[in-house]
Structure 1
Amino acid sequence: MQVITKITRQKNQERYNIYLNDEFAFSVDESTLIKFGLTKGKILDPFEMDEIAYEDEIAKAFNRALHFLSYQMRSEFEVKKKLLDAGFGESVVLEAIQKLKKLGFLNDESYSKALLETKKKTAKKGPMAIKQDLKKKGIDKNTMEKALESYTHEEQLQLAMQLAEKTVKMNPKKTPAQIKQKIQDTLIRKGYSFEIVNEILDQIELERDDDEWYELIAVQGEKIWNKYVRKFEGKQLELKVKQALYQKGFPIEMIDRFIDEKRENG
């Protein structure tokens, strides 16, 4: 016969030591103590002790998850992986997760919405990139799509335009064609659709006056000329330089002017 002869509180105020027949037997969480009505004089049979041990393991997993969630919101997938990696059994983890969900500490729908807003504000990401982020967090398809429905076309245009304008400012020595390519690459990488990209490219203004074109071609043209002058000469050299500058978006009249000046200067 196993009789509880003493119960003492640990330094951790929420755990208690249980003594059976005047010897230490096990420790339990306060919630387990209350659930099983563990008091001095209570008789425990083997089955009940197994139940207590299982329930206390769930309490440990629950508290470990709460600590994990105290730093920031997490998805159900993340919490489950964390608990499994910590050595808790599958059934214990599932019980702990159900308890967390019931008490409102774990909600993939709320988590998805929060992650969406964070990725929009901090990284200006588009829907496709955020969808990948949600997948990595183990969010199911329906929850993911429901969250992304709130990301309006207008919001996407607004954030994509901010990225485009930043790209323009960072590339003052590039041609409009080069800048548009950089804008397209940036927006695609950030997860925006081709529809959004095309709308932005149609709206963005990248005009250059003659003086600006001349400054641009003086820098880029010189680099290209020096690159090809080692391999070609005469008309073949001029043709190669013309092709390269044209591909970079320089107007043909500016290219001809540059080539004429190079020819005159020998």
Structure 2
Amino acid sequence: MEVTSVKKYKGSTYEVELDDGRKIYLHIDIIADYGLRSGMQLERDELRKIIYSSNFRRAYQYALYCLDHRDYSAKEMTKKLIGTYKNERLCTDVVKKLTDNTLIDDERYAEKLARRMVEKKKYGFRRALREITLKGIDKFTAEDALAPYSGTYAENLMHLLNTKHYRYLTDIEDRKSVEKVKSALVRYGYGFDEINRAVKEYFENAGLSEE
């Protein structure tokens, strides 16, 4: 097939018209990469490559725009791109380039999430692990990111008891309030044993002892 015209459309986008009446819109970089010009003959496979390159560029630029606003895991970004471009191979190739260029790094992202979940939100291991894996990080990478915080959870529990739940722990005999606190801490991702130890320590520090 023949390229019948190449003309500027708007901005850095050009309109390329083919002799079968089709019009495709390509960035100037694609025009330059393939040397597109009026009168040029194109094989069908070459046209497919040009269109793929154009779509790849568009998807890659969109991914960079998304990454300007927040981090993504490889799985998250692939899902987001597929939702927009509907081409799994294209989106997988884009994410591979992003990871090759370290613009997406699941280990780095997991470490950032772990720090936020444990240090800022004060989540226990279970909740932190769940939140990280929900971002598309695999379980082993998430566990590795959380490993440095193994000694922090007990401190966080006491912090929560002393700053967030202390008003419910004024009376050791008030089992309803104590159980309410324990249930809240379960939702934070702490296990029953560590919660019971923390509550016991809280009452002991207050000059009481839990029966």
Decide whether the 8 Å contact of 2:85 with 2:91 is kept in 1: no
Q: TM-score scaled to structure 2, two decimals?
A: 0.81
How much identity, in percent, do the aligned residues show? 23
Instruction: State the match for 2:122 in structure 1.
Output: 124
Instruction: State the match for 1:10 in structure 2.
Output: 10
Instruction: State the match for 1:166 in structure 2.
Output: 163
Shift of 1:123: 2.0
1:86 is paired with a residue whose SS is: helix
Instruction: State the match for 1:93 in structure 2.
Output: 91
Decide whether the 8 Å contact of 1:3 with 1:43 is kept in 2: yes
The runs of 4+ residues in structure 1 deviating greater than 6 Å are: none
Distance 1:151 1:3, change over 3 A: same
Provide the C-alpha distance between the structure 1 equivalents of 2:10 and 2:22, rounded to a whole number of angstroms: 13
Shift of 1:99: 1.5
1:104 is paired with a residue whose SS is: coil
Q: TM-score scaled to structure 1, two decimals?
A: 0.66
1:28 is paired with a residue whose SS is: strand
Provide the C-alpha distance between the structure 1 equivalents of 2:113 and 2:64, rounded to a whole number of angstroms: 19
Instruction: State the match for 1:36 in structure 2.
Output: 34
Instruction: State the match for 2:77 in structure 1.
Output: 79
| Per-residue CA distance 1:164-219 (angstroms, 9 max, x = gap) | 112443226543553543443232221123443243234213347xxxxxxxxxxx
Query: Which residue type is aligned with residue 49 of structure 1?
Result: L
Decide whether the 8 Å contact of 1:36 with 1:52 is kept in 2: yes
1:44 is paired with a residue whose SS is: coil
1:149 is paired with a residue whose SS is: helix
| Per-residue CA distance 1:125-169 (angstroms, 9 max, x = gap) | 11100111122222212212211212231x112211111112443
Q: Where do 5+ consecutive residues of structure 2 fail to align?
A: none
Provide the C-alpha distance between the structure 1 equivalents of 2:166 and 2:196, rounded to a whole number of angstroms: 19
Residues paired across the two proteins, number: 206
Query: Which residue type is aligned with residue 48 of structure 1?
Result: E
| Per-residue CA distance 1:213-255 (angstroms, 9 max, x = gap) | xxxxxxxxxxxxxxxxxxxxxxxxxxxxxxxxxxxx8x9xxxx
Provide the C-alpha distance between the structure 1 equivalents of 2:143 and 2:107, rounded to a whole number of angstroms: 10
Matches within 5 A, 1:192-207: 192-204=190-202, 205-207=205-207
CA RMSD, 1 decimal = 2.8
Provide the C-alpha distance between the structure 1 equivalents of 2:56 and 2:145, rounded to a whole number of angstroms: 31
Decide whether the 8 Å contact of 2:73 with 2:137 is kept in 1: yes
Shift of 1:5: 4.2
| Per-residue CA distance 1:87-132 (angstroms, 9 max, x = gap) | 4211111111111112222121111111112222442111100111
Aligned with 1:156 (options 139, 153, 157): 153
Provide the C-alpha distance between the structure 1 equivalents of 2:167 and 2:181, rounded to a whole number of angstroms: 11
Query: Which residue type is aligned with residue 79 of structure 1?
Result: M
Decide whether the 8 Å contact of 1:4 with 1:41 is kept in 2: yes
Shift of 1:20: 4.7
Provide the C-alpha distance between the structure 2 equivalents of 1:189 and 1:207, rounded to a whole number of angstroms: 28
Provide the C-alpha distance between the structure 2 equivalents of 1:173 and 1:126, rounded to a whole number of angstroms: 24
